[in-house]
Structure 1
Amino acid sequence: MAFRSVFDAVALRNEFENAGISSQFIPIIWKHVRQKPTSELDEIPSLPAAAYPILRSKFKVMTSSLTSAAKSKDGLTTKLLIRLQNGNLVEAVIMRYDPTLGKYDGKRRPGCQRSTLCISSQVGCKMACKFCATGTMGFKNNLSPGEIVEQLVHASRFADIRNVVFMGMGEPLNNFIAVVEAIQIMMGSPFQLSPKRITVSTVGIIHAINKFHDTLPNVNLAVSLHAPDQDIRCQIMPSARAFPLGRLMEALHAYQEKSQRKIFIEYIMLDGINDLEQHAHQLGKLLQTLEVVVNLIPFNPIGTSSSFRTSSEHNVKVFQKVLRGTYNIRTTIRQQMGEDISGACGQLVVNLSEQRSTGSVRLLADIEDLHI
């Protein structure tokens, strides 16, 4: 019988309520597990006697295990490979930011080193984006809320996590209920993450975007747009056929009118496909009535079979100049981290499954800008 994670909040709460045990004891369990993830359930103190047999028979302290933790040479990135109870693997990546290493709007970043966790929501992905390592895996299964939260528990052993971004393996809004439950746990005791420091990225699942603000107020929304028109989107993102660009933009306008929050636009730069000056003008016109931050992502090929090429530095800078200068859209060129440890989401799992050594695909990670 498969056990549930103690971080599967709804399941644990239902079991406690059926046994007449107050749900106020659940944060006590979570705090203990966060501090001692290798402990046994019987070691959790101060619970009613009736709680222990329920925990022993139906739940585990941690249903997942840490298989490996690869640290980049610069010490700023750690990639965690996590094995689930069903044997599948997922990845989470810790990115550390040092204010002495970069500038923000011309000024040193304030504060001391802080860490962002890039988290997975599915094993594989249904979206099959042609430039994404995870997209080559196909879809295997959704993660439970507990399996999502356990990634944060594993990561907390290596760094004090301040920000969480759902930009790892999977399409978060295709696992909406579990992602919402996991985020609600992260915002409560003992994690106490601010919703403004949590970002959920999507390729544009319109029906989920329509309920995003009401369900997750103050949580950041990022959209993997990657093209300024429907034809190019369909060429590189097959799922775009189900979510036409016109309807997606209507959903984003409605979301922003309701939430009054910036939207973060992810845009991967592909040589000769979506990186020309004319594409920058198309994108500027598409986005100019929204309050957005555009992150231009330098592409790095996945293995040797990719048909895409990396945009030239010149094209990327011209693209940024058009968006900033002509359309007054804040635009960043995303920093790369974890190059030496196969940082891009899905790359480590793909490498293992294909018996390849770690490649040069890089983690797309200027994510700290989303939270300042």
Structure 2
Amino acid sequence: MAVHSIFDAGVLRNEFEKAGISHKFIPLIWKYILHNPGCQAHEVPSLPSIAYPLLSSKFKSMTSTLASVVDSSDRVTTKLLIELQSGSFVEAVIMRYDTRLGRYGGNPRPGGPRSTLCISSQVGCKMGCTFCATGSMGFKSNLSSGEIVEQLVHASSFSDIRNIVFMGMGEPLNNYAAVVEAVQAMTGSCFRLSPKRITISTVGIIHAINKLKDDLPNVNLAVSLHAPIQDIRCQIMPAARAFPLGRLMDNLRLYQENSQRKILIEYIMLDGVNDEEQHAHQLGQLLKMLVVVVNLIPFNPIGSLSCYNASSEQNVKKFQRILRGVYNVRTTVRREMGQDISGACGQLVVKRSGTKLVEHVNKLTDIEDLSSLKI
């Protein structure tokens, strides 16, 4: 029988309750493991004696292992290929930014280096988006909250992680309970990440968005919109049939009214599909009642999955000018990082071809810049 990750908070709490052990020991256990890599949970000192046989029989400090670590030539991006105890693989991606470089909003950038970690929430994905390599895998399994948190633990040995984005493999809101529990762990007394520096991306799972504002009120919400009208959205995102655009927009307005949080809109630019001037105007009209940041994503064709072509740079710039100039919608173009380590923006798949692992990985503009706008 597979053991649980020590970072599976809900399971650990339940086991402690049944054994009459106080929850106060949980952050102490996590902190010890973080400061003593390689130790096992039952090696943590100063716990009640009854805790040790429970921990040694039912939990491991890490249930996943690093299968490979690949740096880009400029060492700005690091891909962590992580093997789960089931034998499946997911990727976590570290993206490093130096805020002292360049300007933001016309002003010098404050601060200094910071790192964003892109996390997976599932093995595969059932959404089937036709522009996304992950969709070619189908859905394999959900990650437990501990397996999600372990990605942060692995990444923390390479960089001081300041921001988290759930933009890796899977639809986070289709693994809702585990994602919420993982975020609560990340923002707790052990990891101490700010919820305002955590972003959860979704294709628009309406019922889960309604819950998110209550369960995780201060996290950032990103919506993979990718089209301004329902017909196009269903063409490129089959799951959109279950989440009609009109209902989704009504839901987002309610979410923003209740949360007072801006919404990040992800929009992949596909030549001749959703990148024309009329689409920019339709998108501007759709979003004009919301406070949003639109992130235009250059499309990178991948082998046999390339049924689309990338929009020209001219079309991307024109699209951006319309949103900004006509509708006053804050709009950025996603920055690409780590092309030399086989990165494809907005796409991630891990599959076996014979004995060779094929990897593609998601990258994004600095999320802290995108989420810093006040509502």
Pair in the same fold by TM > 0.5: yes
Is this contact kept in 2: 1:300–1:360, CA < 8 A? no
Higher mean C-alpha displacement, 299-308 vs 91-100:
299-308
Match runs of 1:250-261 below 5 Å: 250-261=250-261
Is this contact kept in 2: 1:163–1:371, CA < 8 A? no
Match runs of 1:27-106 below 5 Å: 27-106=27-106
Which amino acid in structure 1 is aligned with residue 342 of structure 2? Answer: S
Counterparts in 2 of 1:346 and 1:332: CA distance versus 1, 3 Å: closer
Q: How much has 1:359 moved relative to structure 2?
A: 7.8
> 1:194-242 CA deviation, whole Å, 9 max, x = no partner?
1100000000001101111011111100000000000100111010011
Match status 1:285 vs 2:293: no
Counterpart of 2:364 in structure 1 is 364
Equivalent residue pairs, number:
371
Counterpart of 1:273 in structure 2 is 273
> 1:296-319 CA deviation, whole Å, 9 max, x = no partner?
001111224411001000000000
CA distance in 2, matches of 1:43, 1:182: 23
Q: How much has 1:358 moved relative to structure 2?
A: 6.4
> 1:8-43 CA deviation, whole Å, 9 max, x = no partner?
111111111111111100001111122223112232
Which amino acid in structure 2 is aligned with residue 42 of structure 1? Answer: H
CA distance in 1, matches of 2:252, 2:183: 21
Residue 154 of structure 1: SS of its match in structure 2? helix
Which amino acid in structure 2 is aligned with residue 274 of structure 1? Answer: N
Counterpart of 1:168 in structure 2 is 168
Q: TM-score, normalised by structure 1?
A: 0.96
Counterparts in 2 of 1:341 and 1:354: CA distance versus 1, 3 Å: farther
Counterparts in 2 of 1:29 and 1:339: CA distance versus 1, 3 Å: same
Q: How much has 1:62 moved relative to structure 2?
A: 0.4
Residue 80 of structure 2: SS of its match in structure 1? strand
> 1:328-359 CA deviation, whole Å, 9 max, x = no partner?
00000110112122234664614x44666868
Which amino acid in structure 2 is aligned with residue 10 of structure 1? Answer: G
Match status 1:138 vs 2:138: yes
CA distance in 1, matches of 2:360, 2:154: 25
Counterparts in 2 of 1:180 and 1:362: CA distance versus 1, 3 Å: closer
Counterparts in 2 of 1:15 and 1:59: CA distance versus 1, 3 Å: same
Which amino acid in structure 2 is aligned with residue 59 of structure 1? Answer: F
CA distance in 2, matches of 1:337, 1:355: 27
Is this contact kept in 2: 1:31–1:189, CA < 8 A? no
Is this contact kept in 1: 2:343–2:363, CA < 8 A? yes
Which amino acid in structure 2 is aligned with residue 294 of structure 1? Answer: V
CA distance in 1, matches of 2:250, 2:282: 17
Is this contact kept in 1: 2:134–2:349, CA < 8 A? no
Which amino acid in structure 1 is aligned with residue 350 of structure 2? Answer: V
Counterpart of 1:247 in structure 2 is 247
Q: How much has 1:112 moved relative to structure 2?
A: 1.2
Is this contact kept in 2: 1:21–1:51, CA < 8 A? yes
Is this contact kept in 2: 1:27–1:190, CA < 8 A? yes
Backbone CA RMSD of aligned residues = 1.6
Is this contact kept in 2: 1:342–1:362, CA < 8 A? no
> 1:134-180 CA deviation, whole Å, 9 max, x = no partner?
11110000000000000000000000000001000000000000000
Counterparts in 2 of 1:308 and 1:290: CA distance versus 1, 3 Å: same
**Consecutive unaligned residues in structure 2, runs of 5 or more:** none
Is this contact kept in 2: 1:97–1:368, CA < 8 A? no
Match runs of 1:1-372 below 5 Å: 1-344=1-344, 347=348, 349-350=350-351, 352-353=352-353, 363-372=363-372
Is this contact kept in 1: 2:122–2:143, CA < 8 A? yes
Is this contact kept in 2: 1:39–1:61, CA < 8 A? yes
Is this contact kept in 1: 2:350–2:359, CA < 8 A? no
Counterparts in 2 of 1:153 and 1:242: CA distance versus 1, 3 Å: same
Is this contact kept in 2: 1:142–1:175, CA < 8 A? yes
Counterparts in 2 of 1:202 and 1:362: CA distance versus 1, 3 Å: closer
Counterparts in 2 of 1:304 and 1:355: CA distance versus 1, 3 Å: farther
CA distance in 2, matches of 1:62, 1:37: 9
CA distance in 2, matches of 1:71, 1:60: 28
